[in-house]
């Protein structure tokens, strides 16, 4: 592979998405969020679930962006195989059209992608965030990826916009019983001194 191929749009887009995904995940764990609070308290179920969702969405992203979306074969086929393929795709009465860009016979619902410069079966769209087409082969995985990515984004947005629950304040015991008789005398009003002084010497008021 040529060195300049590493700077292709597809490599740059996928690398940027991967770095951004793990960067945001790292910030959510290092910042004062519920993820960090759960981790410090030893409650690892939800943090591990979040990490697995992020990892799953990233793997689906790479799978959808790297797999063949259903390109129409540009190699010339034997006449018998071509007739069988035409019969399986369309009724014999409907002739296949020829793409005006790459000059291949297009099945029904196939369209030419100008970015990929290929015809794609059941073409849906060209996704710039994946630098790949969405077509016959990767469309189901694309839908699953969108659903999983939506869950991760909503959960991450919730963690970023909310503060972790602070621990309940500790109730301090009353001051006077803890200080004893000396503190009670010090805090007692002047009019109560005749009653409080005998307490210091162990007598009765």
What CA–CA distance (Å, rounded) separates 85 from 135?
A: 18
Task: Look at the chain and count its residues.
Answer: 205
| Environment class of 54 (CB within 10 Å of its CB; exposed 0-12, middle 13-18, buried 19+) | buried
127 is catalytic: yes
> For helices 45-66 and 9-30, what crossing angle results, to 10°?
170
Backbone φ and ψ for 137, nearest 5 degrees, come out as: -85, -35
What CA–CA distance (Å, rounded) separates 141 from 138?
A: 5
The residue from 99, 102, 116, 127 that is catalytic is 127
Give me the active site residues, please.
127
């Amino acid at each position: 592979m040529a060195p300049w191929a590493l700077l292709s749009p597809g490599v740059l887009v996928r690398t940027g998405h991967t770095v951004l995904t793990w960067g945001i995940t790292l910030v959510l764990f290092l910042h004062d969020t519920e993820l960090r609070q759960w981790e410090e308290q030893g409650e690892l179920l939800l943090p591990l679930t979040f990490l697995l969702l992020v990892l799953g969405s990233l793997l689906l992203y790479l799978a959808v962006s790297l797999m063949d979306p259903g390109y129409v074969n540009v190699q010339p086929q034997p006449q018998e195989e071509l007739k069988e393929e035409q019969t399986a795709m369309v009724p014999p009465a409907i002739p296949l059209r020829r793409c005006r860009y790459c000059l291949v016979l297009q099945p029904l619902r196939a369209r030419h992608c100008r970015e990929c410069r290929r015809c794609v079966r059941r073409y849906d769209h060209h996704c710039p965030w994946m630098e790949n087409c969405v077509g016959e082969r990767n469309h189901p995985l694309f839908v699953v990826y969108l659903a999983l990515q939506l869950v991760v984004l909503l959960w991450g947005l919730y963690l970023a916009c909310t503060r972790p629950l602070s621990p309940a304040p500790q109730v301090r015991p009353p001051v006077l019983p803890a200080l004893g008789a000396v503190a009670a005398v010090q805090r007692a009003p002047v009019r109560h001194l005749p009653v409080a002084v005998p307490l210091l010497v162990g007598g009765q008021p």
